[in-house]
Structure 1
Amino acid sequence: MNRQTILFVMNADTPDDQISAAAESAARDDDHLLCLLADPAPALPVYAYGVLPYGGMNIPDNWGSLVQEARSKQEARANQVEALIAKSNTSGDVQTVMCATVDIKHAIARAARVSDVAFLASNLRDTPDVLREVASGILFHSPIGLRMNGCLPQAGNRILVAWDSSEAASSAVHAALPYLKASSEVAIVCIDPDMSEDGDGENPGYDVAAWLCHHGCTVTISQYPSGGLEIGECLQDRALEFGADLVVMGAYGHARMIQTVLGGTTRSMMEQTKLPVLLAH
């Protein structure tokens, strides 16, 4: 696999062992590790907000010092992360982001646009709002894939691709191509395929399988009915049966608002923690 720039998104609470493991993995693969500490700025107290035109915003006297204290703690943590990277003899650098939670995605997107793949520290799950904005910045505002769960080293020998002929699925396969080419076996899985001419075609999955074979991948194709189960649950079952080291799938192939409100395959695969997954939109 060619040398990559890996965007490793973490926060000030990410444990040292996770950072060291990521740095050592990057060193082994001769990758560049871009560590991005993303933390929300201290929120204004509720009483700070006035109701115009009857009142203005009442900023607490200690607000500036609270923000400065938070920034100082983050910078101190960034210095510790730099030391861990240096100890691992890894090519890498550290950047920090501290802003309103809803604005984190923009800073994440800027870093993702000059990276090859993004990997999230597992403890970001402890801050769901931040996790959502980080994922949004990568999936909707950058061209790279998002990896979750597992560890940073290369994706492994057995990779399952969830295929439905959508643009999102195609983006995921393109993002995962270096991992697919390095794997020993790729399983293309189509669940409830639409065999119409305007859907997945007469032979669902054969087109992407042929393309991957041209790249030297060893590929098998399987088609499964969902049997009334949620698609994400079916994918997890198939991946566990296959012994997948990584699941590759498109994110938010349907309307994002519908999936946000009602759930959906993307949401269920992001919430599960058993299987490493690579998502792209």
Structure 2
Amino acid sequence: MTRRTTLLVLNAETPDGVISEAAEIAAAHQNRLTCLLIGPAPALPMYAYGVPPYGSMSIPDNWSELVVEAQQAQSNRVDEIEALLAKSGAAGDVRPVMCATADVRQWVSRSACVSDEAFIAPSLRDAPEIFREVAYGVLFQSPIGLRANGSTAPEAERVFIAWNTSQEAASAVHAALPYLRAAKEVVVGCIDPVMTQQDDGQDPGTDVAAWLSHHGCTVTVSQYPSGGRDVAACILDRAQEIGADLVVMGAYGHARMVQAVFGGTTRSMLEQTDMPVFLAH
């Protein structure tokens, strides 16, 4: 896979080694690497919002100094990342963003809409609110897929597709098609399929397997009972059994608010760190 653009969403704490590896992989495949550097804007102290009638805001004397320091620190990190890109010979750029957490999704979406896929740097897991906003911006406000865990290498020998007949699963398979074409083996796995014409069909997974075979993929189909276990755990178990390098699945097939409160397969797969995963909505 060449001439693609990978959006690497990272923060100042992302190790140089992670960035250098992504840059070297991009250079080796003639791909472009866009580094979106997310930095939290210095929080305005709460008491600054307490405005009495006909009064004025009480902003700390060092407020402007804190902002300048944060901007300078981010600028320094931009210079360091640009040096890493130059050393690797990778084509790419660094886009610094300093904003409130609630605005992260808009900035991520803007860059994702002109990329081929997005990858979340592991360091963002230490900032879970930003991690979730990044995922939301890619999955709900852009047309591309989101990858987490592993490296940014644009290939996988064995891919496990967590398949059902939802639009989300179909979107994920379409977005991951370059990976599927390049893979040596693709396994379409259906967890607790409902074998009726109105639901998953009489032989679940065979339709998408036939379509992928037409694209030159080597595909097998398997149906798995969950036995009442968590679906995400079943997906991980089955993927590990076949030695998968990547799991492809649809994201947020149910209402996002319900999943945010009660968990859900998407949330579990995003939170786990053992298996590389590719999601699309």
Structure 2 CA distance for aligned equivalents of residues 254 and 94 of structure 1: 35
Q: Which residue of 2 aligns with 1:225?
A: 225
Q: Which residue of 2 aligns with 1:83?
A: 83
Q: Which residue of 2 aligns with 1:64?
A: 64
Give the alignment of 1:35-74 within 5 angstroms. Answer: 35-50=35-50, 57-74=57-74
Query: Does the 8 Å CA contact 1:37/1:94 hold for their aligned counterparts?
Result: yes
Change (3 A) 1:72 1:181: same
Instruction: State the one-letter code of the partner of 1:162.
Output: A
Structure 1 CA distance for aligned equivalents of residues 252 and 138 of structure 2: 13
Query: Does the 8 Å CA contact 1:156/1:245 hold for their aligned counterparts?
Result: yes
Query: Does the 8 Å CA contact 1:155/1:246 hold for their aligned counterparts?
Result: no
Give the alignment of 1:81-120 within 5 angstroms. Answer: 81-120=81-120
- Give the number of aligned pairs: 281
Q: Which residue of 2 aligns with 1:10?
A: 10
Instruction: State the one-letter code of the partner of 1:155.
Output: E
Matched, 1:256 2:256: yes
Instruction: Give deviations 1:184-231, integer Å, cap 9, x for gaps.
Output: 000000001122222111111111111100000000000011100010
Structure 1 CA distance for aligned equivalents of residues 53 and 184 of structure 2: 66
Instruction: Quote the offset at 1:74 in angstroms.
Output: 0.5
Q: Which residue of 1 aligns with 2:207?
A: 207
Q: Which residue of 2 aligns with 1:278?
A: 278
Q: Which residue of 1 aligns with 2:144?
A: 144
Instruction: Quote the offset at 1:155 in angstroms.
Output: 3.2
Change (3 A) 1:70 1:207: same
Instruction: State the one-letter code of the partner of 1:103.
Output: D
Q: Which residue of 1 aligns with 2:245?
A: 245
Change (3 A) 1:250 1:54: farther
Question: 69-78 vs 54-63, which deviates more?
Answer: 54-63
Q: Which residue of 2 aligns with 1:184?
A: 184
* TM-score normalised by L of structure 2: 0.97
Instruction: Quote the offset at 1:149 in angstroms.
Output: 0.1
SS in 2 for 1:160: strand
Gap runs ≥5 in structure 2: none
Q: Which residue of 1 aligns with 2:153?
A: 153
Question: 240-249 vs 55-64, which deviates more?
Answer: 55-64
Instruction: State the one-letter code of the partner of 2:121.
Output: A
Structure 1 runs, 4 residues or longer, greater than 4 Å off: 51-56
Question: 238-247 vs 54-63, which deviates more?
Answer: 54-63
SS in 2 for 1:188: strand
Instruction: State the one-letter code of the partner of 1:145.
Output: G
Instruction: State the one-letter code of the partner of 1:119.
Output: F
Structure 2 CA distance for aligned equivalents of residues 280 and 56 of structure 1: 47
Instruction: Quote the offset at 1:80 in angstroms.
Output: 0.6
SS in 1 for 2:6: strand
Instruction: Quote the offset at 1:71 in angstroms.
Output: 1.0
